[in-house]
Amino acid sequence: MNIGAILTLASGQNESEASDSSGSKQFGWRSLGTIDVLGASLLQRTQRKLEHLGSLSPRVLTESNGPSQFLPSRSSRSTAFVEEWERAVAELVHGGADILILGRISAYTDIDYTELLQYHAASESLLTQAYAGKESLDVAVVSAKLLRSANGAGYRSTLSSAIPQQKRFCYSGYVNWLRNVQDLHTLMQDALYQRCGLQPVGREVSPGVWLGESVVLDPTVLMSYPVYIGARSRVGSGCRVASASSIERDCHIDCGTTVRDSLVLPQTYIGLGLELSRAVAGPKVLFHVDRNVEVNIRDARLIGRTSRSLPFLSSMASLITDRWSQ
C-alpha cells in the first residue's frame, strides 16, 4: 500500500493565534510545532513517525497568515496556501498513493499511526479523523479513491462533502495541545518524567540524564535528574542544571548559572551567574511560565544567540580535553 502524507504548519506572525490571555501559540515568532523539545521538534518527530510507517517523505506546507488548515474547506479563499495544498494532494493522488494522511502540526500525541490506518481499513471508511474526546487531533486518513473521484471539483470540495460520513478514530492516550508556551514547557517535563512517549534524542548516560552528541560539560557542573542536554551544547564551570530541565542543541550556558525547571531553546546563550527558573529561554527572549510574561532581552551578555562557530569551538574543546587526559 502506498501511503502519502501532507503536514501543514503555521509559521511566522499569526494574528489569529498570537498572544491571548493564556499565552502565545508562538514563541519569538516561531510556531511551537517547529521548536525542539528534547532534541527534535514536533514537526520532525511527526515526519519520522510517518516515514517509519512506510509513507513517502511527507510534504510540509506552511501557512504564513491565519491558522493552517489540514482540511481546507470548500469555502476557503483560494490563497497561495490552498492552491499549494491542492497541488500537493494532486501529486500524491496521481503519483499512485492509495492512502493519504493529512495532518496539522499542532498537538503532541502518542497516536499510533499503524493503529489509525488499521482502523481506517477495517471500517472501510473513505475518510477517518482522529479525535481525543470531542476535540479533533487534526489528523485524517483519506482513501485516494475518494479523491480520484474529484473530477475537477477540487479536492477540498470533495473532502468537505465526505466529512459528514467520516469515521472517528477515538484516541485516549497522552495529549498535549501545545496551545501556548506553558504547554511546551509541560511537554518537556512530561517527556523527561516519561509521562508520554516523547523520547530524548541522545544517549541516557545515567538514569534520567540524557546527552546529545558532542556535549561539553565542565567537570564542576552539577546535575539533578531528569535532565537533557542537546547536541554540541556547552555548560560552563560552576553551573547547575536541575529539576527537569532541558538545554537544547548548540547552547552555551556560561559559568555559575543555574538552570532549574526550565527549557533552553536551541542556539541560546545564557550569560554568567544567572538564574533561570520556571522559564523558557530563547535567543534574546525569556518567557516565565508562572507569570505568563514574555520579556525581550536586549543585552546579549544576559541572554543571546550562540555563535555560528560553536560546533567548531566545541570540537576544539573536546580535542583539547582529550589531549590533556592522555
> Which one, 93 or 286, has the nearer CB to other proteins?
286
> Which one, 296 or 325, has the nearer CB to other proteins?
296
Identified binder of other proteins from the candidate list 208, 277, 311, 318, rule CB under 8 A: 277
Sign of CA dihedral 122, 170, 182, 29: positive
User: 91, 107 in Cβ contact below 8 A?
Assistant: no
CA distance 109 to 120: 18
CA distance 182 to 290: 8
CB of 190 to other proteins, least distance (A): 24
Identified binder of other proteins from the candidate list 180, 286, 306, 310, rule CB under 8 A: 286
**Bridge partners, residue 3, by sequence:** 99
CA distance 221 to 255: 9
| Cell numbers at 91, concatenated | 501529486
CA distance 194 to 171: 19
Q: Which residue reads 548516560 in cell numbers?
A: 205
CB of 306 to other proteins, least distance (A): 18
The residues in 237-266 that bind other proteins, with binding defined as CB under 8 A, are none
CB of 181 to other proteins, least distance (A): 13
**CB under 8 A: which stretch of 152-160, 209-217, 225-233, 285-293 binds other proteins?**
285-293
Q: Is 301 near other proteins (CB under 8 A)?
A: yes
**CB under 8 A: which stretch of 57-65, 207-215, 239-247, 270-278 binds other proteins?**
270-278
CA distance 21 to 27: 15
**CB under 8 A: which stretch of 58-66, 101-109, 123-131, 291-299 binds other proteins?**
291-299
Identified binder of other proteins from the candidate list 276, 280, 282, 310, rule CB under 8 A: 276
Angle at 201 between CA 173 and CA 208, to 5 degrees: 80
> Which one, 102 or 289, has the nearer CB to other proteins?
289
| Cell numbers at 3, concatenated | 501511503
> Which one, 7 or 253, has the nearer CB to other proteins?
253
Sign of CA dihedral 26, 30, 32, 33: positive
Identified binder of other proteins from the candidate list 15, 124, 299, 322, rule CB under 8 A: 299
User: 176, 187 in Cβ contact below 8 A?
Assistant: yes
Q: Is 173 near other proteins (CB under 8 A)?
A: no
CB of 303 to other proteins, least distance (A): 8
| Cell numbers at 274, concatenated | 544567572
Residue 96 parent element (H or E): none
Three-class secondary structure of residue 73 per DSSP:
coil
CB of 25 to other proteins, least distance (A): 20
User: 212, 230 in Cβ contact below 8 A?
Assistant: yes
> Which one, 232 or 288, has the nearer CB to other proteins?
288
Instruction: Examine residue 226 and say whether the peptide bond preceding it is cis (omega within 30 degrees of 0).
Output: yes
Identified binder of other proteins from the candidate list 134, 298, 308, 323, rule CB under 8 A: 298
Identified binder of other proteins from the candidate list 153, 205, 293, 320, rule CB under 8 A: 293
**CB under 8 A: which stretch of 191-199, 225-233, 276-284, 311-319 binds other proteins?**
276-284
**Which residues sit at the interface with other proteins, rule CB under 8 A?**
271, 273-277, 279, 286, 288, 291-293, 295-299, 301-303
